[in-house]
Amino acid sequence: MTRIKKTRKGGENGPKRKPKLKKSEEVASSKRKRDSGNKAGSRHNEGMLNQASPSGSGRKSSNDPRHGSKKPVALTLTDSKPQAKVKQPKLSDEQKLLALEEDPRLNNLLDMLEEGRDLSAEDQSWLDKQLSKIEALMEKLGIADIDEAPASRPSSDDDLLEKFESGAELLKDYQQD
């Protein structure tokens, strides 16, 4: 069997081409109809429109619905819109107290005070604020600071004797019951 090369001709059933026209007929049919519609860019060139029709029949910018708002648009970001904040879960008082006590800046400043160094005014005010926050949280939680608890030392031997005797009386009451 011999090989038959495929052709692009459709044959009898294929699509038909348009008949070829002469050059004179071709040029006449390819020309566009002129003067249909407005000139290109006519809505952006108001000055040219007003010059072309000085009789007042030209379009005015206030009557032209294609023109948008004349309100100036700010090209920079403004802080008028508050940005959405990521809400963190509220910490309990114990967690707040732990977070304050574990603050590395607070620990460094307290170490500097223990060493006897002087702090700047800014650091001292920050330290005072943090310590007052810690004290308020401790009072709220009912935690007594060990250093601030008054040591109940009797001032004399008589006070010691009274304390001993009252303890002895309590022991006798307990033994009788």
4 part of a folded domain: no
How far, in Å, CA of 2 to CA of 12, rounded?
Answer: 23
Residue 165 lies in a domain: no
Of 48, 29, 27, residue with least CA distance to 38: 48
Q: Indicate whether 151 belongs to any domain.
A: no
Poorest-pLDDT segment among 65-79, 92-106, 130-144, 149-163: 149-163
Amino acid at 127: L
Question: Is 137 a member of any domain?
Answer: yes
- Share the mean pLDDT of the chain: 76
104: domain range?
93-141
Q: How far apart are CA 6 and CA 115, in angstroms?
A: 100
pLDDT at residue 128 in the model: 92
Q: Could you give the residue ranges of the DSSP H alpha helices within the chain? A: 23-30, 46-52, 93-101, 104-115, 121-141, 157-176
Contact 123, 109 (CB under 8 A): yes
More confident residue, 45 or 175: 175
Number of domains in the chain: 1
**Distance separating alpha carbons of residues 101 and 135, to the nearest angstrom:** 11
Task: Provide the pLDDT for residue 148.
Answer: 52
Amino acid in position 67: H
pTM exceeds 0.85: no
In-domain check, residue 70:
no
26 lies in some domain: no
pLDDT, one tens digit per residue, over 11-48 is 778 777 787 877 777 666 666 666 667 667 766 666 76
* Four-CA torsion 41, 42, 46, 48, nearest 10 degrees: 100
Give the residue, 35 or 106, on which the prediction is more confident.
106
Q: Is residue 153 part of a domain?
A: no
Confirm whether 176 is domain-assigned: no
pLDDT band, residue 132 (cuts 50/70/90): very high
